[in-house]
Structures are given as C-alpha cells and as structure tokens.
Amino acid sequence: MPTEWVVDSYTMCGAFYHDFLLYRPPAAWGLDSAAYTGRLTWGMNAYEKFIRKYAITGKPLIAAVWTSAERRAD
C-alpha cells in the first residue's frame, strides 16, 4: 500500500483537531483532490462512504491522516 510522508510544522486551526482531512496533493502529481472535514462524531461510516464515492470514480486519490498534538479545550 503506497504511503507518503507529509510533515509540516504549520499549525492549523484547533477546529480540525483529530478530524479527517484529505490531503490536497500538488497539481504536479496529476491527482484528483478532495477535502473532507467530517467531525469525529460523524463516525467512520460517513468517512467510509466518502472514500467509497471517490473510489467508484476510478480516479487516483491520496488520503491523509492528519494528526495534531494540539490540545483542544473540549
């Protein structure tokens, strides 16, 4: 299974804390891009459906696992 390293020190808004985020690949890679910021409470079923809707197009896609060490108030 292909993997890529995307390490960045850029600090994103705390609202994205441990939510899912699909990485927008550089256009030079020639890949399709999509964004999904489903909240954790939406659950994995919603995320699975989201991935499925892209998988059925047959277009290439890279999905990102975005993890922040930032602590959120809630």
Partner 1 sequence: MSSSGTDTPCHMWDFAFQNSQIAIHHVFDVPTAFYWTDAGGHTPFEVVTTDTLLNRITQWAMATTQTLAAAPPSDVNAPARDTWSSGWDDLLVKDASSGAYTFAEDFRTSKFLDEADGTGFGNLEWNGGDLAFHDVEGKRVQEATIRWKFRGHTGGESFTQIALSLKTLIPLLSSGEATLHIASNVNGPWQQVGTLCIPLLELPLVTCEQEGSVRFQTPVQTFWIQLNLSGHFGRAGDPAIRIDDFRVDAR
* Contacts with partner 1, residue ranges (CB under 8 A): 1-12, 14, 18, 20-21, 23, 40, 44, 47-49, 51-58, 60-72
Min CB(54)–partner 1 separation in Å: 8
Query: Which one, of 41, 48, 34, lies nearest residue 18 by Cα?
Result: 41
Residue 5 — left, alpha, or beta (φ > 0 → left; ψ -120 to 50 → alpha)?
beta
Kindly state the smallest distance separating residue 28's Cβ from partner 1, in Å: 15
Among 68, 19, 25, smallest CA distance to 44 is for: 19
The smaller minimum CB distance to partner 1, of residues 37 and 72, is found at 72
CB of 10 to partner 1, least distance (A): 6
